[in-house]
Amino acid sequence: MEEFYSLQGEGFHTGRAAYFIRLAGCDVGCVWCDVKESWDKTAHPVVAVDEIVNRAKKSGTDFVIITGGEPCLHDLNYLTQELKKTGLLVALETSGSSKITGEFDWICVSPKKFKAPLPEAFERAHELKIVIFNKHDFDWAEEHSMKVKQECKLFLQPEWDKREEVLPMMIDYVKSHVKWRVSLQTHRVLGVR
């Protein structure tokens, strides 16, 4: 769908320069999705993987984030192998609802209620990021935190349009459930994509 060089705004790698590769297609259907234009993969051009890899390499980054849409609807083996051959670190942002293919240095799983994640996604996750839309999502976050490995980093992130409503609850929650960290969509504050 698009490629751009920016900063990672969310989660563990917040503030880090990253080349984003956004793949088109998503079958999850989150009501609050802010990239609904990504859902229909036929609305976007087919791009040669080698061209993407060359642009990522030339960007000057050391870190690539493959996102979507739901990137795991695609076979990511060749793309990730070629990126890693150039020495780039490769991260994935996924809902975990489709089989993960490819080699990754970092996997962020952000499960969604609209299509259940696969068990293997939790096994491979380095980072679990739960979007908080209302107070019921804390229970949902706890349920999923039981499924990841002990060393997996745990983040709660407010749904952007609900942030004023849910942030006070989140701050209280993290103070009494200290395994969690708050993640904010800082790219929106920084004015980058």
Residues that bind ligand SF4 (CB under 6 A): 26, 28-30, 33, 35, 38, 68-70, 95, 112
CA atoms within 13 A on the CB side of 109: 28
Residue closer to ligand SF4 (CB basis): 102 or 117: 117
> 106-109 and 63-67: which strand pairing?
unpaired
User: Cβ contacts of residue 122 below 8 Å, gap of 6+?
Assistant: 96, 109, 128, 144, 147, 148, 149
Is the backbone peptide bond immediately before 29 cis, with ω within 30 degrees of 0?
A: no
Minimum distance, C-beta of residue 115 to ligand SF4, in the bound complex (Å) = 8
The two three-digit tokens of residue 161, written as one number: 């349009």
CA distances from 29 to 69, 71, 88, 117 (A): 10, 14, 31, 13
Residue closer to ligand SF4 (CB basis): 95 or 157: 95
Minimum distance, C-beta of residue 176 to ligand SF4, in the bound complex (Å) = 28
In angstroms and rounded to an integer, the radius of gyration of the C-alpha atoms of the chain is 16
Minimum distance, C-beta of residue 167 to ligand SF4, in the bound complex (Å) = 20
Minimum distance, C-beta of residue 137 to ligand SF4, in the bound complex (Å) = 14
Residue closer to ligand SF4 (CB basis): 12 or 114: 114
Minimum distance, C-beta of residue 158 to ligand SF4, in the bound complex (Å) = 14
Residue closer to ligand SF4 (CB basis): 10 or 82: 10
Residue closer to ligand SF4 (CB basis): 32 or 171: 32
